[in-house]
DNA sequence: AATGAATGAGGGTTCATTCAT
DNA sequence: GATGAATGAACCCTCATTCAT
């Protein structure tokens, strides 16, 4: 019963791995099939084309990522602490989901990215962005454009995980706490 | 002698434009030749292959970028103000050099990037990184790993320019000053 | 027993429609299955392969077509009027059976056509060709090869229907009568 | 000097042969390359894609065909005799250009055919169609739609050549004369 | 120095057919 | 009888690179 969907999952997993390893350019449908242990043709049974395969993978991974980051978000905390929670969690989850993060970063700069996709993602991110909006409304963070606020916090968090993945730094608990501090200092009023 | 370098420059310029417009995947050697107004074959007279062409372009643009950012760096300023100068200048230059920035960002995540190239770049960046090292030594910024310090300042500065290029924000003088502040707050002790 | 033939008929009908709409090249077995509302696999229960499906469809449609054209052929008429009857009827039926005609025309020029199939068809056409043979024997039409006689009459009749289908002409009763005249003039002695 | 164009001609020739032998469906670009003795890639240096290759071939062959048919058309003849000349010549040329005729016939029913192409062809055919228009104006042929007139003459002429190619009849001088007669009888007033 | 024709491997995709269920 | 997932060969096309001119 889940065997029928097993193949679709294998294809998605293989795509994720290959793109994180070799990039979009180095990931052909034939390689995906090979890594997934299926024939090339069957991919088109589950996905209408390469673009659709990659889009669906992106949406799925982004969804998963957001779920992990917002899981355990405690609304009874102060907004300040909710912001810090989200930054810290973004780093932690990004560090753990190395392949997924590399894929998602690459996607953003690939020709597969389209405004409609980011609209979909923005809608999914609402639970997350709401916290930052509230912080701005309560005037505990600077009155900067939303995009700048996210860049200074979640963007930085993601970048730290990238540096960790590249081996440039080691993101242990202490460093994660320090960077969470730094992000907060960047936006606090 | 100059004529021959003229053609090399045309090729590099065409490559830069095309990659910033269409990405690596959408930039074939034939298109480069077409845009540069030269034959496809002659590219291989100046560059041994596509990889080499793109590497040389990256090094050249990075060099140019660093020169522009560090130009006018006043050693008589306080270290704090030198740091702020570099952050502000990084934003300003990045905003002006849109195509170059997009190319360099794409390069970093492309399969053309290699550790040796980043070593070369790191050497070029010494005048720039020295300022940050001094700031750390003088204990006016947090004792974070160098990579993290750069990420929180120059990385953020670059990212702001990207957002500006995408139209997500408008990087006017006021916003540039605010983000420079934010970066400084992130790393100051 | 009837239910099973119902599915076979659906498949044949879908094939006819699709080929008349999109041609042989644009008609995949998957599309046939979709249009017929059956699974792709079941087609191979009724037909051993695509070639066989198309052959059977051709024979069936040709048979149907000949039946319609020869229905009502009155042996008590003069041979001249029997010939004219057949020409007129060929035009009329062809105009009405647009899809079937387009399919049969395409079949003739496709790689699915084979001499054996035309032999089978020729046998079916005997009631029709007999009239022309008698006309030749009675020396009321020119002593041309049979194939030429058919070409000048039935071939032309079919072509008129094609032009009608393409919209190049409008085959109303008057034009049908005129072309019937023309065909007769072409072969009469 | 003509060597550079030699390859384009080889490709066109190979395409013509293969389509006349195996039809559109049986003629892959790889087979064309093989038959022409060139690599598959070079075809796209001369033609932007398969569609363009086939279109250009069709236009070229049609042009050639019309030139041969109208060559030697004597305006000092009576219109009746000019019509007969064109019919006879159409048969003769079609019989000689077997491959070209089969290709052109297949093209008409292929998905590569488009209204714009037929417009282009119609313009080329003007010297030919003008003769028939004059015959209608002089009221020596029936007042039938142009398309029907062409069908009854040139269409039939072409069909005879097809039958000859298939071996159904042998189009010798006598038969050609007889069919020319028949076509004339079909349309004369 | 310079051209652009030529190659051939590899790209994404389609499709007739098979087979476990 | 019936399904539709699965295969794999073939399809059209692109591209970095080479080489005769």
pLDDT tens-digit profile of C49-98? 999 999 999 999 999 999 999 999 999 999 999 999 999 999 999 999 99
Helix (H, G, I), strand (E, B) or coil at D21: helix
Query: Which residues, in sequence order, are CB contacts of B42 under 8 Å at separation 6+?
Result: B7, B33
Contact residues, C window 93-132, toward D, CB-based 8 Å cutoff? 105-106, 109-111
Here the tokens at position C44 are 């191979």
Helix (H, G, I), strand (E, B) or coil at B92: helix
Mutate to test the interface with C, among D151, D181, D187, D189 (most CBs of C within 10 A): D151
How distant is the alpha carbon of residue D103 from its chain centre?
A: 9
CATH homologous superfamily of domain D50-187? Tetracycline Repressor, domain 2 (1.10.357.10)
C-alpha angle A151-A155-A160 in degrees, rounded to nearest 5: 140
A29 touches strand F (CB under 7 A): no
Query: Are the C-beta atoms of C50 and C29 separated by less than 8 Å?
Result: yes
Residue of A nearest to B102 (CA): A109
Compute φ and ψ for D18, nearest 5 degrees: -65, -45
Rg over CA atoms, chain C = 18
Query: Which residues, in sequence order, are CB contacts of B86 under 8 Å at separation 6+?
Result: B69, B70, B73, B128, B131, B153, B154
Question: Which residues in chain D land under pLDDT 70?
Answer: 1-5
The pLDDT-based confidence of B120 (bands split at 50, 70, 90) is: very high
Q: Do C and A touch, counting CB pairs below 8 Å (3 needed)?
A: no
Chain A to chain B Cβ contacts (< 8 Å): 95
Tell whether the model's pLDDT for residue A3 goes beyond 50: no
Residues D130-180: tens digit of each pLDDT? 999 999 999 999 999 999 999 999 999 999 999 999 999 999 999 999 999
Tell me the mean pLDDT in the region B112-137. 95
Mutate to test the interface with B, among A25, A51, A151 (most CBs of B within 10 A): A151
How distant is the alpha carbon of residue B132 from its chain centre?
A: 17
Tell me the mean pLDDT in the region C129-154. 97
**Facing B151 at nearest CB: one of A109, A144, A159:** A159
Query: Are the C-beta atoms of B70 and B136 separated by less than 8 Å?
Result: no
Express the helix, strand and coil content of chain C in percent, nearest 5 each.
75, 0, 25
Q: Which residue from A152, B178, B153 is spatially nearest to B144, judged by alpha carbons?
A: B153
Nucleotides of F under 7 A from a protein CB: 1-20
**Distances in Å between the alpha carbon of C102 and those of C28, C36, D158?**
17, 19, 19
DSSP string, D161-177: HHHHHHTSS---HHHHH
Architecture of domain A54-187: Orthogonal Bundle (1.10)
Architecture of domain B1-47: Orthogonal Bundle (1.10)
The pLDDT-based confidence of B2 (bands split at 50, 70, 90) is: very low
pLDDT the model gives residue D51: 97
Tell whether the model's pLDDT for residue A165 goes beyond 60: yes
C133–chain D nearest CA distance, Å: 16
pLDDT the model gives residue D5: 66
Nearest nucleotide to D47 by CA–C1' distance?
F13
Here the tokens at position A187 are 């936006």
User: Which residues in window 2-31 of C are less than 7 A from strand F by Cβ?
Assistant: 3-4, 7
CATH class belonging to C55-187:
mainly alpha
B18/E2 CA-to-C1' distance in Å:
23
A12/E8 CA-to-C1' distance in Å:
31
Tell me the mean pLDDT in the region A155-172. 96
Residue of A nearest to B24 (CA): A25
Nucleotides of E under 7 A from a protein CB: 1-20
Kindly determine whether residue B109 and residue A109, on different chains, have CB atoms separated by under 8 Å. Answer: yes
**Domain extent listing, chain D:** 1-47, 50-187
Kindly determine whether residue A182 and residue B187, on different chains, have CB atoms separated by under 8 Å. Answer: yes
Tell me the mean pLDDT in the region A82-101. 97
C11/F2 CA-to-C1' distance in Å:
14
Residue of A nearest to B146 (CA): A169
Tell me the mean pLDDT in the region A71-85. 96
The pLDDT-based confidence of A7 (bands split at 50, 70, 90) is: very high
Query: Are the C-beta atoms of C64 and C12 separated by less than 8 Å?
Result: no
pLDDT the model gives residue C3: 46
B44 to chain A, any CB pair closer than 8 A? The answer is: no
DSSP string, B96-153: H-HHHHHHHHHHHTSTT--HHHHHHHHHHTHHHHHHHHHHHHTTSB----HHHHHIII
How distant is the alpha carbon of residue B88 from its chain centre?
A: 14
pLDDT the model gives residue A5: 66
Tell whether the model's pLDDT for residue C128 goes beyond 60: yes
DSSP string, A93-162: HHHH-HHHHHHHHHHHTSTT--HHHHHHHHHHTHHHHHHHHHHHHTTSB----HHHHHIIIIIHHHHHHH
Q: Given the structure tokens 């004597």, which residue do they identify?
A: D74
Tell me how far apart the alpha carbons of residues D136 and A102 are, in angstroms, rounded to a whole number. Answer: 76
User: Which residues in window 44-83 of C are less than 7 A from strand E by Cβ?
Assistant: 44, 49-51
| Chain D residues with beta carbon closer than 8 angstroms to that of C169 | 145, 147-148
Tell whether the model's pLDDT for residue B140 goes beyond 70: yes
Residues C1-45: tens digit of each pLDDT? 444 468 999 999 999 999 999 999 999 999 999 999 999 999 999
Tell me the mean pLDDT in the region C101-120. 94
Mutate to test the interface with B, among A186, A188, A189 (most CBs of B within 10 A): A186
Tell me the mean pLDDT in the region C122-128. 96
**Facing B163 at nearest CB: one of A147, A183, A186:** A147
The pLDDT-based confidence of A177 (bands split at 50, 70, 90) is: very high
Rg over CA atoms, chain D = 18
D40/E6 CA-to-C1' distance in Å:
10
B22 touches strand F (CB under 7 A): no
Q: Which residue is nearest to nucleotide E12 (CA to C1')?
A: A29
Q: Which residue has the higher pLDDT, A43 or D6?
A: A43
Q: What is the largest CA-CA distance in chain A?
A: 57
Tell me how far apart the alpha carbons of residues C125 and B70 are, in angstroms, rounded to a whole number. Answer: 92
Query: Are the C-beta atoms of C106 and C24 separated by less than 8 Å?
Result: yes
Here the tokens at position A48 are 């209408």
**Facing C160 at nearest CB: one of D26, D151, D163:** D151
pLDDT the model gives residue D4: 43
The pLDDT-based confidence of B6 (bands split at 50, 70, 90) is: confident
Tell whether the model's pLDDT for residue B3 goes beyond 70: no
């Amino acid at each position: 019963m889940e065997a029928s969907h097993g193949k679709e999952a294998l294809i998605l997993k293989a795509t994720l791995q290959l793109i994180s390893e070799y990039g979009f350019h180095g990931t052909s449908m034939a390689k995906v099939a090979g890594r997934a242990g299926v024939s090339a043709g069957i991919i088109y049974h589950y996905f209408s084309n390469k673009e659709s395969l990659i889009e669906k993978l992106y949406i799925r991974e982004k969804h998963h990522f957001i779920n992990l980051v917002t899981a355990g978000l405690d609304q009874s905390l102060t907004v300040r602490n909710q912001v810090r929670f989200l930054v810290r969690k973004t780093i932690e989850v990004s560090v753990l989901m190395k392949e997924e993060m590399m894929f998602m970063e690459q996607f953003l700069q690939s020709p597969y990215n389209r405004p409609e996709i980011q609209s979909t993602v923005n809608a999914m991110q609402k639970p997350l962005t709401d916290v930052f909006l509230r912080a701005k409304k309560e005037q505990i963070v600077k009155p900067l454009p939303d995009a700048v606020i996210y860049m200074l916090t979640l963007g930085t968090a993601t970048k730290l995980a990238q540096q960790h993945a590249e081996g440039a730094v080691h993101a242990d608990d202490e460093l994660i706490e320090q960077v969470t501090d730094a992000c907060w200092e960047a936006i606090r009023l």
